[in-house]
Every structure is written in C-alpha cells, then in structure tokens.
Amino acid sequence: MHSRKYTFRFCLVFVVLLFFLLISTGKLIFIQIFRSAYLANLAQRQHNSSIRLEPVRGTIFDRKMRPLAFNVTVSSLYVNPKIMSDKDERIALRELPHLLNIDSHIIRQRINKKKYFVWIARKLAPESAEKIKKLNIPGLGFVKESKRFYPNQSLAAHIIGFAGMDNDGLEGIELKYDKYLKGEPGWSQMLRDARQRELLIEKNYVAPRDGFNLVLTIDETIQYLAERALDKAFKQHNARGATIIIMNPKTGEILALANRPTYNLSDFRKSNLENRTNRAVSYVYEPGSVFKIVAATAALEGDVAKEKDKFFCENGSFRVGNHILHDHVPHGTLTLKEVFEQSSNIGVTKITQKIGPEKFYEYGRRFRFGINTGIDLAGEVPGTFKKPSEWSRTSIGAIPIGHEVTVTPLQLVCAVAAIANEGVYMQPFVVKYIKDNKDQIIDAFEPRALSQVMTPETAQRVKNILVGAVENGTGKKAQIKGVAVAGKTGTAQKIVSGAYSHGKFYASFIGFAPAENPLVAAVVVFDEPHPNHYGGTVAAPVFQEVIEDTLKYLNAAENP
C-alpha cells in the first residue's frame, strides 16, 4: 500500500518537473533562436557606451594674431536614470534647480525618461559644475565639451557673429566660414559594468579633427578706436543707428567695421534682430551729397567739363521738371571745383545735364552702385540704381545728388577707396588666411582688383576736389592737423510714409588720408541724428577722430 502511494507521488513529481523542464527548454530554444540578436544588442548597449568626441572649433584672430573668438573647455551634466534610486532622485530634484536655474519639473521630466543617457544641462559655468560634483549623486555624470568664448564681448560683433550651443556658426564670419571652423567630430566606445559605471577601457577610438583657424584683416586696435568714437557720437546725437567702416584702399582689406546699435557676443540670446543686423552691408539708404563723386568723375573722365569751368547756381533755386531744387546755401556762379567743394545741388545737376543720363549711369555702374561688392560677409544687398529708361523728368536733379538711389555704407567706402587707389576698385574682404593648428596655411585670400573706374590722372583730379571740400568746403570738421584729408559730406532726407521727411535725415562722410599717399579710406553714416543732422557736423568729426588716431597708430607700428 505504501509502495503504491510513494510510486504515485514520485511519478507526479517527475511529471511536474518534466513539464517545467520542457517549458524551460522551449523557452531557452525560443530565446536562442528568435531573441538572441535582440538580447545580444541589449547587453551590448548596457555594457558599451558610445561617446561623441566634439572637435575644438577654430580660433578667429585679428590681423596681428590677437584672438577674437576661441573655445574653452567646460563640463556638461547628464543623468543615467536607470541607476538612480528614489532617494537619489529626491536629492537631485531638491539641489539641481537652484544650481542650474532650471525649473524642477523640467529636471523631473528628464529623469523620468529612464534612458541610459539624458542631458540635464550643457556647457555649465565652472563654479556650477564644481558644486554639483560635490553632491556626489549617483546617476549624475559630466562630459567635457567646449564653449565659444568672445574675450572682447561686443567688439567687432557684426563681423565675427556667433556660434550656438553645438558650436554651429549662426551669424557673421562664424556662419560664413562654419565649414572651416567647425571641424569633424570623433567618437570612442567605453565599457561599463553591470551597475553602469565606466571602466575607463576604450574598445574603439576615432580622434576628432579640430577646426581650422581664421586670420582676419581686422585690426583689434583700429576696431576699438572706431567703436569708441562711433559709440560716443551715436549717443551724443541721439541717433537711431550708425555705421563706420575703415578700409585699406590699396588692398581692399577691411581694418574695422562697426554698427550701432550692437550686442554682446557672449550673451547674444538677449539681443534682438535689429541689434544683430550688420547695417554696413545689409541696410540701404539714400546717400545724399556723398554720391556726387559719380558726377565729378564722369565730368572729368568724360572731358565734359574742367575744374575751372563756371556754372551759375541760380542763387539757390532752380526748376527741374515740376520740382524746385534748392541749395542749403544760395550760390551764384561757381567753378566746377567749387560746386563740389560747396556741395551745390544745382551746380551738380547742371553738370549732370551736360554729362547726360546714359554716361552718368555708366559711371555709377563703374563704381558698382546697384551691384554687390562681393565681400566675404553674409547678408550683403546691392542697393538700387535705376537705368536711364526708368528715370522721370525730375530724376536728373535727384539721382546725381544722392536721391532716388540707395546704397550700402560698404559700397560708399569702396567707391571713395577707388579714387584713393588711382581709380582701381578693390574687392573688400575680411579674411586673410585659413590656417591649421600647426600654423600651416590652408587657404590665403589675396587682394583682388575688380575694375578700373577711371584713369589715374582723373583719380588725382577728383582727389584734389575732395581735398578742397575738406579744406574750403562742407567737410572742414574732418581736417587733421598736418595731414591732407580728402572727403565729401552728405545729408539726405529720409523717406517716411512715401514722402521725404523734414525732420529725419541720414548724415554721412566719406574720405581718405593722407591724400597724397592714402593709407586708409572710411565711411561714417548716422541714421536719424538729432537735433544736429548735417554730415559735416555729425559724421565728419567722427571721421577726423578715428582717422587721426588710426594714422598715429599705423605710423607708430611702422616706426617703433
């Protein structure tokens, strides 16, 4: 009886064990055949950590190898929620918000993702990273990254531009030359233990290629001199905007370029679009009397009139079509040279009537008005310069004096630089070299002549007229003691709601110095200065201050 009872129990246990064995064997077979790839991949993900190795973005230097933008090493915070306990999460949610200035619900959302790697905050300030490290919270870790640093804050902001969180160029040179500056990322694969701790054992490693460096034509010292004077006058004259550009007329190298308003490159997210816009290449305006250099060149180069030829300026009032043209000061009879020195609108109109619309348009195009200069900065616009077929009956009295035409400040400085450079128009540029970290030149950008606007003889004659405009005419406040200055003032009414305003103006000055052997050419433009609004009283003094200081600096550099 007992034997039969034990035999039954034995069989029952055997059947149960056999049943579970068959289930386990089936499960193992299923896993081995159908789930092996998935589980192997899962194990690999749990024990292998792929890390993207960020390249160091290239440095931007001024022409004397002074850094204007470079990268510094910083720490970025991540979390591995898989290994955090409830207590660790509570500590993190209590401590991190005030250290990172991030709302706790955002941090909670990131922890709740339950992935192996989730960013908490990128590119922290060193002091913040140190405080978090001292908390020693399991699951939190740091990755070394690099962050763009601009040592001069807003200096040359509209040339340099800025790079974003991932070191992508977003504006200015940072954007235009991003493919050179950015470099190529690398990667490494690290082993982790079952608790997700790094074992510091590399399985694979591909080194990143750091970005190339840029050497600009900009001179940090001249840039500072230009920005200091521009900023002072911008505030003094209550202007809406302002621009200054300083250029080497013989090479086309931009030595300084600045706009107001401006912004801080290190805190660009707090700036608006207007502050970030490069007015020097992206804003157009009716230039006023600075545009009269076209008429002067066309008259002399085309042998339409000579410097001593006389023109009656109608005592300040002259009908052109159905419009009465005025001079700011009434004049009687003036020579051609005096017409431009005194900036007589009537005299310039009468000279242009002799030149004719077709020839005037030809010389305006020689100066590349209505055409991009080709500068290596993003956002350049060509302005407008109407063909003679599009002129109205009054255009002959408007376009030659800088109305019904729009230009950029860059076009103006290039035009006056062509006069300084014996009639040769040089393409402006801001990047001299692209170099690697071993100082090997990857690419070099040489000066490039685009056209011969006029003969050297005509350029000298126009230059003499511009010297007279500073010595005897409207540009007297641009005079520099002991230095001959050539220049031209401009004052233009703004168009507001389709009509010319009597209270809003553009004030400009273009020129170069020393006149006999020009080292620098410059343009200064103010948008809506008030109450003073004339180019001779607002823009010319800024030119005088900056160019005088620049010439002293250049002479000191040549004769240390």
pLDDT in tens, 191-221: 555 454 554 444 566 778 889 999 999 999 9
Mean pLDDT is lowest, of 39-53, 244-258, 391-405, 462-476, for 39-53
Residue 43, pLDDT above cutoff 60:
no
| Average pLDDT rounded to a whole number, residues 22-29 | 73
Greater pLDDT, 49 or 533: 533
Greater pLDDT, 430 or 9: 430
pLDDT in tens, 352-404: 999 999 999 999 999 999 999 999 999 999 999 999 999 999 999 999 999 99
Instruction: Please give the mean pLDDT across all residues of the chain.
Output: 89
Mean pLDDT is lowest, of 35-49, 138-152, 503-517, for 35-49
Confidence band of 42 (pLDDT split at 50, 70, 90): very low
Alpha-helical regions (H) of 394-490: 409-420, 456-471
Give the per-residue pLDDT at 22. Answer: 77
| CA–CA distance, 12 with 440 (Å, rounded to integer) | 84
Residue 184, pLDDT above cutoff 70:
yes
pLDDT in tens, 335-349: 999 999 999 999 999
Give the per-residue pLDDT at 479. Answer: 98
Which phi and psi angles does 329 have, rounded to 5°? -135, 125
Q: Decide which of 3.30.420.40, 3.20.20.140, 3.40.710.10, 3.90.1580.10 is the CATH code for 220-429+449-558.
A: 3.40.710.10
Greater pLDDT, 245 or 210: 245
Most confident of the ranges 136-145, 267-276, 543-552: 543-552
| Average pLDDT rounded to a whole number, residues 414-432 | 98
pLDDT in tens, 305-319: 999 999 999 998 999
The residues spanned by each domain of the chain are 220-429+449-558
| Average pLDDT rounded to a whole number, residues 247-258 | 98
- Other Cβ atoms less than 10 A from the Cβ of 299: the count is 28
256 close to 218: Cβ distance less than 8 angstroms: yes
The percent of residues in the chain predicted with pLDDT above 70, rounded, is 90
Strand partners, 390: none
Give the per-residue pLDDT at 47. Answer: 52
Burial profile 11-28: b = 16 or more Cβ within 10 angstroms, e = fewer? eeeeeeeeeeeeeeeeee
Taking only Cα atoms into account, the Rg of the chain, rounded to an integer number of angstroms, comes to 35
Give the per-residue pLDDT at 200. Answer: 45
- What separation in angstroms does the CA of 477 have from each of 263, 470, 481, 488? 30, 8, 11, 11
Per-residue H/E/C for 427-442: CCECEEEEECCCCCEE
Residue of 430, 423, 431, 410 whose CA lies nearest to 449: 423
* Sole residue written with tokens 């004769």: 559
